[in-house]
Structure 1
Amino acid sequence: MMCRLVIIFALVLTVWGCADEVVLPEAQPLKASAEALSTLYKIDKGPYQVVSSTDLILAVTADSELQLSVFYPAADDEKFPLLLFSHGNWSDKDQYDAVINHWVSHGYVVIAPNHLDCCSAMHGIINSIRYGQFGLIEERMRDFALLLDNLDRVEQLVAGLSGKIDHHRIAATGHSFGAFSAQQFGGAGTFNPDTEQFVYFRDARIKAIVAISPPGPMFDVINDKSWQQMDQPMLLTTGTWDSNARFWPDWRLHKMSFDTATPGVNYALITQGADHYLGNLICRLDREQVAQHDALKMLNVTTIAFLDAYVKELPAAKEFIVSDSLAVVSDGFSVIERR
């Protein structure tokens, strides 16, 4: 128990450590004009009004339940692809509206659960002690398996949602620790230190992965071999200020999954001066930092283009995501690498 406590308190320092302790590189601002930016793929809010239900409870067993938020487009007689969203460690399902609302406005349903490590440092620490890091990862996968197996039940929980989810077009998305949860659907492996074996949670129902600032190596359970069998289409996003002195001092460590996954359908969005929370726009909305609205625009443009390309299979989206249009229009503020 003492060893585990030491590990947990190291996690406290790691996850909430201040990036200010890293000497950040110079970052150029976004200089593009509003007219030039308007040419980017779906940079503006989409045509659909966003409807949200944030206090849903899905009964799991007689003594356990899953807290959900569901976001969907206001439209009659249409089916929309589904995005599962996994929050970051100690964050929660309702800290990502700046990204989720953009996706929904362009025609996606999003289901976001609270995981066992959610909602506060204290709650996360207690459950980390109880389950361990590998156990928390397993619980996150159980959450998503439960959702995938009970989509009809979720639809019944929300007035107006019934019949709107296309069960054959599903992607996994997430931020930080939740980005790794999303990657596991595409073949990323978790190392179990007890058995010294990798464990995989691949699910054929997931067609694509959006990983917003995923971790690099993390304790014993995530290491440089975790992504070698990952072969589903993936978009990773990070920025040149996405660093943490205690664990990921170089922002490029967040890019390790892109660099080591099976090549062919991997994309990485890299934005100048973007940090782990886009200032205070995602995950930690109470953070006393400058909001990085330009970085958010680049993230929204690129994620919706990737999703449209690999979930909706729209040719214009695929053309954008494989081109250098973003780098040209933003004058290098954001670039999309392909591998």
Structure 2
Amino acid sequence: MRTPTPRTPHARTVLSLAPIVLPTPDRAVDLRLRVSVPVGGGDLPVVLLSHGHGPSHHLSSLHGYAPLAEHWAAHGFAVVQPTHLDSRTLHLPADTPGAPLHWRSRAQDMTRVLDRLDEVRAALPGFDGRLDPERVAVAGHSMGGHTASLLLGARLTDPDDGSEADLADPRIKAGVLLAAPGRGGDALTAATAERYPFFLTTDFSTMSTPALVVVGDRDASAHLTVSGPSWHTDPYTLSPGPKSLLTLFGAEHGLGGISGYDVAETTDEDPARVADVRRFTTAYLRTALDPDDNSWPAACAALAAEPHPVGRVDAK
């Protein structure tokens, strides 16, 4: 096994605060957040991180994804993690409107955060820095990748009323989709189409915001799709550019274990792979939110020069 990539010398100490509660009368429960920021510094770019819908009781909430959130915050980002309504930590009744996956309210959670960014900043004790509303990205894993796709411009037909759902937020300048769901139609298993009909009409042709799509070449997700690992590349192949696709060799749906430390359901647990995900996503976010930063081209060049590369990057 390869040695994990060490933290870079300029990684900073992280302040993480949870829960920050935003009163939300029109939601089943108030919106609860974790915010992680580096100690010191200001004018921080913001990353909205959407959790997946996994079997764990707590990782699919503001308590999860520490391997990503802590790393991004240590490297200069303000990371905001909401607990979406599909989280098991909320114990909501099965007949709660929008259940079981609350696809619409997930995206609306992120819009609420941006609408109330000053409240989020004010809730951080001793934090004098500013969260930069002009430099915002969204990231999400699995179902969180679907949420991120909608915010980046993907659309679908609401199975309840037949309307087209357009939840794109122009304040979001870039995205990172981690093992995100692909297209609908005949790519879905019959069980998925029946239980989650909103997946049937996912349309990436309108997802024009720049994004990095990260996939594992062994992520079959057979409970969701009949298309195999290539299904997760759909947000790249079926959307307009500019887009980048990072394919990690040997990776499965957990991408090495990004949803938490020592997670039992991670079938491909590999700290080195998690380090690779952190390295490449951090580089992408830096360049996407600051065109003068060459971190992403440098990371791609370094990958191409590796004698035994951990993956490959495609771009359009």
Structure 1 CA distance for aligned equivalents of residues 142 and 98 of structure 2: 18
Cα distance change of structure 1 residues 133 and 119 upon mapping to structure 2, 3 Å threshold: closer
Q: Is 1:105 aligned with 2:69?
A: no
Structure 2 CA distance for aligned equivalents of residues 330 and 301 of structure 1: 18
CA contact (8 A) 2:37 2:79 kept: yes
Query: Residues 9-29 of structure 1, C-alpha deviation per residue, up to 9 Å, x if partnerless?
Result: xxxxxxxxxxxxxxxxxxxx7
Runs of 4+, deviation exceeding 6 Å = none
Cα distance change of structure 1 residues 175 and 257 upon mapping to structure 2, 3 Å threshold: same
What 5-or-longer segments of structure 1 have no aligned partner? 1-28
Structure 1 CA distance for aligned equivalents of residues 10 and 220 of structure 2: 32
Q: C-alpha displacement at 1:202, in angstroms?
A: 1.0
Q: C-alpha displacement at 1:223, in angstroms?
A: 4.1
Q: Is 1:212 aligned with 2:189?
A: no
Q: Is 1:233 aligned with 2:233?
A: no
Cα distance change of structure 1 residues 224 and 309 upon mapping to structure 2, 3 Å threshold: farther
Cα distance change of structure 1 residues 201 and 101 upon mapping to structure 2, 3 Å threshold: same
Q: C-alpha displacement at 1:275, in angstroms?
A: 1.4
Pick from 36, 55, 62 the counterpart of residue 71 of structure 1: 36
Q: Is 1:51 aligned with 2:23?
A: no
Cα distance change of structure 1 residues 279 and 306 upon mapping to structure 2, 3 Å threshold: closer
User: Which residue in 2 is equivalent to 1:336?
Assistant: 313
Query: Residues 263-292 of structure 1, C-alpha deviation per residue, up to 9 Å, x if partnerless?
Result: x31111111111112344416823375621
SS at match of 1:246: coil
Structure 2 CA distance for aligned equivalents of residues 215 and 223 of structure 1: 11
Q: Which amino acid aligns with 2:106?
A: R
Q: C-alpha displacement at 1:226, in angstroms?
A: 1.5
TM-score by length of 1: 0.79
Query: Residues 176-198 of structure 1, C-alpha deviation per residue, up to 9 Å, x if partnerless?
Result: 11111112121111221234343
Q: How does 1:111-150 map to 2 (within 5 A)?
A: 111-119=80-88, 123=91, 126-127=93-94, 129-132=95-98, 136-150=102-116
TM-score by length of 2: 0.84
User: Which residue in 1 is equivalent to 2:246?
Assistant: 269
Q: C-alpha displacement at 1:169, in angstroms?
A: 0.7
Aligned length: 297
Question: Which has the larger displacement, 216-225 or 62-71?
Answer: 216-225
Query: Residues 227-249 of structure 1, C-alpha deviation per residue, up to 9 Å, x if partnerless?
Result: 11011110011112212222235
Q: Is 1:180 aligned with 2:146?
A: yes
User: Which residue in 1 is equivalent to 2:234?
Assistant: 256
